[in-house]
A and B are shown apart, each in its own frame.
Chain A
Amino acid sequence: MRRSTSRRDRGSDRPRRSRNPSDRLFRGATLGFALAILGLALLVAWQLFIHSKLSREQFGWSFLWTQTWDPVAGQFGALPFIYGTLVTSVLALVIAVPLGLGTALFLAELAPPRLSQWLAFMVELLAAIPSVIYGLVGIFIVVPWVRVHLEPALSGTLGFLPLFRGAPYGVGFLTAGLILAVMVVPFITSVSREVLLAVPRVQREAALALGATRWEMLRMAVLPYARSGIAGSILLALARALGETMAVTMVIGNKPQIAASLFEPGYTMPAVLANEFTEATDDLYLHALIEIGLVLFVVTVLINGIARLMLMRLAVPAGPVKR
């Protein structure tokens, strides 16, 4: 989770390549393992691609915007799952971004350094808790709470919005989004904290010297500087949320429908894989499920790729000023 910011210190002055045969053997061996990792990434893509062939050929691109999911009739469209995945992930970010960024600001700017390190460690523990445990807490504690307290309160106050209408089931988009939010907060907090800590001190001092209050300093001098890194951390969190399986499967209700209300049960791409994969009775059904996996793979690779680039680019202009 923690990633290095500037790693370009060595390289220009490293020793010249050794011609010694045992050195070349060692280098070759480690290179072999490194290439195996590359091969593995390609293998993952290839396996998903060839094992979704039947479904891709039969449904083409319409797989992505067809709403029917009928294994008996052999009709497969992924739209309800894509919809559920998007709604829960966006909801998670709506909650997690202010929470995670606020926490990061507190840890990076207000807490004393030693305390900050320990608190950051504890926030990262949230990411270490296995997803099935979030699901367990979700089923037995969050779902009843949402049903009895949160949903009636929301429909009482914001019920004029279609988002907050309908019967309070407890299971559904809202609960899934809440739990996902908690699960991705550590990704936003720990990366953003590092990015904030990497903002040069002069940047802050300049703002303070001009008479800015601490908050104005953060808003005008620090946050704009850290913007792309923070955006990167949010994208990383989004990729996590899209692929999260167990916790969501356990609380979303698993009903393939597209509903305007967040109180309604829904379904997500990882959840349908978790529930139906072992039940796939014929090849077309199996290939349709694997195609959902392929979609998930492509989307998370793209989002992660962009996030890495944003975080990488950040490392370049950061000057020699260190905190």
Chain B
Amino acid sequence: MRARPYALRKATNAVALGLTGAAAALTLGILFAILAYIAANGASALNWDFFTKLPAPVGETGGGLANAIVGTLKLLLLASAIGIPVGFLGGVYLAEFGHGRTGFVVRYASDVLNGVPSIVIGIVAYTLIVLPMKQFSSLAGGVALGIIMIPTVVRSTEELLKLVPSNVREAALALGVNEWKTVLFVVIPTALRGVLAGVLLSLARVAGETAPLLFTALSNRYWSHGWLEPTASLPVMVYTYAIAPYDDWHRQAWAGALVLITMVLGVNILARLGVSRRASAS
């Protein structure tokens, strides 16, 4: 390489490093712009009716999304019932016993699941539940969200359990404690805060999922009873209202977006503040 004048090299250096700074500023600027737009448009649209009333009949203004908020909570409950036990115990296996080939294969499968687009998981829930039951339902939506939760819970559980020093395990084992008691009562409690944060983060992630609900939970302008009826959910309502031609619906879409993003960001920040820096894995 031919020698270049020092001044030129210094100038290149300054320009290139300046550009990286500009990229960082732009990325963060976009984040703040998005948050600002949602806060501005959502705050003026949010009112008490939003949380307490059913959607108004088409063409009328007013009403709220109470059923969608309850629907989202129901879906998250069912998703947790599926995603947390499977993801957590799978993660325990990978962290504690998954050093061999089985561990490798399961870890890979979990990564593959994590990369599958959420709408494809929606299709699978559709073929598994909606087709046989001939009915869109909260059940199908909850199962779809549960499947999406699993890989993120697996990964965060595994990573956090692996952060527990092996000395802790060895100390327990040396005292004659059984392996299962060591894992259950020594290792897991040590990592519990982080594991909980990971679970919360994965809940926050599926709380905003829209695509897998479109043809599983569908939507509903009324209350949904039990688990076998279609249900409204906050993200799907935001979508429906955003693409509808009514100004009042647009207003409510922004309000819904504000509620959703407050929840998602709140959980992220809580998890971040509450636990070690590793916990931000999602």
Say if the beta carbon of B178 comes within 8 Å of chain A: yes
Contacts of A10 in B (CB 8 A): 99, 162, 166
Say if the beta carbon of A239 comes within 8 Å of chain B: yes
Q: Are A34 and B16 in contact (CB under 8 A)?
A: no
Considering the chains assembled together, what is the distance between the CA atoms of A124 and B19 in angstroms? 20
Contacts of B99 in A (CB 8 A): 10-11, 14
Contacts of A72 in B (CB 8 A): none
> Would A137 and B214 be within 8 Å (CB), given that A51-B127, A213-B13, A214-B13 are in contact?
no
Q: Are B98 and A128 in contact (CB under 8 A)?
A: no
Considering the chains assembled together, what is the distance between the CA atoms of A245 and B239 in angstroms? 12
Say if the beta carbon of A122 comes within 8 Å of chain B: yes
Contacts of B253 in A (CB 8 A): 136
Q: Are A106 and B24 in contact (CB under 8 A)?
A: yes
Contacts of A105 in B (CB 8 A): 20, 23
B-binding segment of A58-66, A146-154, A273-281 = A273-281
Interface secondary structure of B, over-half rule:
helix
Contact with B along A208-226 (1 / 0, CB 8 A): 0000011110110000000
Contact with A along B73-87 (1 / 0, CB 8 A): 000000000000111
Q: Are A48 and B124 in contact (CB under 8 A)?
A: yes
> Would A245 and B268 be within 8 Å (CB), given that A33-B90, A47-B128, A300-B115 are in contact?
no
Report how many residues on chain B are interfacial, defined by Cβ distance under 8 Å. Answer: 104
Contacts of A215 in B (CB 8 A): 12-13, 16-17
Task: Say which residue of A47, A98, A121 sits within 8 Å of B23 (CB atoms).
Answer: A98
Contacts of B180 in A (CB 8 A): 22-23, 25-27
Contacts of B103 in A (CB 8 A): 34
B-binding segment of A161-169, A198-206, A290-298 = A290-298
Q: Are B108 and A308 in contact (CB under 8 A)?
A: yes
Task: Say which residue of A48, A98, A109, A128 sits within 8 Å of B204 (CB atoms).
Answer: A128
B208 shortest CB reach to chain A, Å: 3
Say if the beta carbon of A74 comes within 8 Å of chain B: no
- Chain A 243-267 residues near chain B, CB threshold 8 A: 243-246, 250
Task: Say which residue of B20, B41, B109, B121 sits within 8 Å of A103 (CB atoms).
Answer: B20
Q: Are A127 and B282 in contact (CB under 8 A)?
A: yes
Considering the chains assembled together, what is the distance between the CA atoms of A99 and B9 in angstroms? 23
> Would A125 and B265 be within 8 Å (CB), given that A26-B180, A33-B90, A47-B124 are in contact?
yes
Q: Are A33 and B20 in contact (CB under 8 A)?
A: no
Contacts of B13 in A (CB 8 A): 213-216
Contacts of A22 in B (CB 8 A): 178, 180
Give the nearest-CB partner of B151 in chain A: A37
Q: Are B179 and A40 in contact (CB under 8 A)?
A: no
Say if the beta carbon of B43 comes within 8 Å of chain A: no
Q: Are B254 and A33 in contact (CB under 8 A)?
A: no
A30 shortest CB reach to chain B, Å: 4
Q: Are B85 and A243 in contact (CB under 8 A)?
A: no
Say if the beta carbon of B209 comes within 8 Å of chain A: yes
Say if the beta carbon of B195 comes within 8 Å of chain A: no
Q: Are B105 and A38 in contact (CB under 8 A)?
A: yes
A-binding segment of B47-55, B59-67, B221-229, B272-280 = B272-280
Interface centre among A26, A124, A132, A274 (most CB of B within 10 A): A132
Say if the beta carbon of A158 comes within 8 Å of chain B: no
B281 shortest CB reach to chain A, Å: 4
A290 shortest CB reach to chain B, Å: 6
Report how many residues on chain A are interfacial, defined by Cβ distance under 8 Å. Answer: 100
Contacts of B207 in A (CB 8 A): 130
Q: Are B261 and A29 in contact (CB under 8 A)?
A: no
Q: Are A136 and B238 in contact (CB under 8 A)?
A: yes
Say if the beta carbon of B154 comes within 8 Å of chain A: yes
Task: Say which residue of A25, A219, A246 sits within 8 Å of B239 (CB atoms).
Answer: A246
B-binding segment of A1-9, A75-83, A314-322 = A1-9
Contact with B along A105-125 (1 / 0, CB 8 A): 111011100000101011111
Interface centre among B108, B123, B173 (most CB of A within 10 A): B123
Contacts of A157 in B (CB 8 A): none
Q: Are B10 and A213 in contact (CB under 8 A)?
A: yes
Task: Say which residue of A15, A111, A129, A243 sits within 8 Å of B170 (CB atoms).
Answer: A15
- Chain A 20-62 residues near chain B, CB threshold 8 A: 20, 22-23, 25-27, 29-31, 33-38, 40-44, 47-48, 51
Q: A44-B147, A132-B257 are in contact. List 9 more A-B contacts (CB 8 A).
A: A7-B162, A30-B92, A37-B110, A103-B23, A129-B208, A131-B209, A136-B238, A216-B13, A270-B119
The 3 closest A-B pairs by CB, nearest first: A243-B117, A130-B208, A102-B23
Query: A: which residues have CB within 8 A of B?
Result: 1-4, 7, 10-11, 14-15, 18, 20, 22-23, 25-27, 29-31, 33-38, 40-44, 47-48, 51, 98-103, 105-107, 109-111, 117, 119, 121-137, 139-141, 182, 185, 189, 213-216, 218-219, 236, 239, 242-246, 250, 270, 273-274, 277-278, 289-290, 293, 296-297, 300-301, 303-305, 308
Could you give 18 example pairs across A and B, Cβ below 8 Å?
A: A3-B155, A26-B179, A34-B90, A40-B150, A47-B127, A102-B23, A121-B280, A125-B31, A126-B27, A130-B207, A133-B257, A140-B41, A213-B13, A219-B16, A273-B119, A273-B122, A273-B211, A301-B116
